[in-house]
Amino acid sequence: MARMFVAVLPGERVVRELDELLESRRDGESGLRWVPPDAWHLTTAFMANVPDSAREGLEGNLKAAARGVESFEVGVSGGLAFPHADRTKVLALAVTEGAQELAALSARSRAAANRAGVAVEGGRFVGHLTLARHRGLSAVRWLEVLDSFPAWVWRVEEVCLVETVVPGRRYEVRARFPLGPSGARVLE
């Protein structure tokens, strides 16, 4: 049994530039648990319990789902706070470009998991890149900081099946599925 998710990974330039902007600010709020830059992603489907027996079917379904989607541009900018700014549990950047395409990819990812017999968690899809977690921070100041950052845009060429090794801290990409009519690269 594995805890997994399907995700779009940001490009190296995005990770490097965003990390540089956050570096001097991370110590400013001791209660925030920062997600390491190499763990940043845009989740399209979250699956808390993927049985080993469902893995092959899940990968096959995700490969087919990815083939049905053309590559697209996605952009992140501006702060988001979940569930709301006064009592934030998640501090994130909002998806501001390619939101419809990402939502469609999410719907396909979730359907692929369901067809493999894997339960998908989560409600309405809201595209975001999680930067930090907290148990109830007032994030108004942080939203202003994130709103001052530039926008980052990159081309989405693939979707990844990722396993959670240490929740919120360390993930391992298990398979990559190129968008459009090509094949998958399984990494195990």
Hunting for tokens 């990770």 — which residue is that?
Answer: 15
* Residue of 110, 128, 133, 134 marked catalytic: 128
List the structure tokens of 40: 């940043």
- A 10 A CB-CB count for 180 gives 12
Pick from 46, 44, 43: nearest CA to 130: 43
* Residue of 5, 41, 95, 125 marked catalytic: 41
Pick from 128, 36, 37, 30: nearest CA to 78: 128
Q: Which residues contact 112 (CB under 8 A, 6 or more apart)?
A: 6, 45, 58, 61, 62, 64, 65
Pick from 150, 154, 180: nearest CA to 10: 154
Decide if 84 is catalytic: no
List the structure tokens of 33: 């648990």
DSSP 183: -
Residues serving a catalytic function are 41, 128
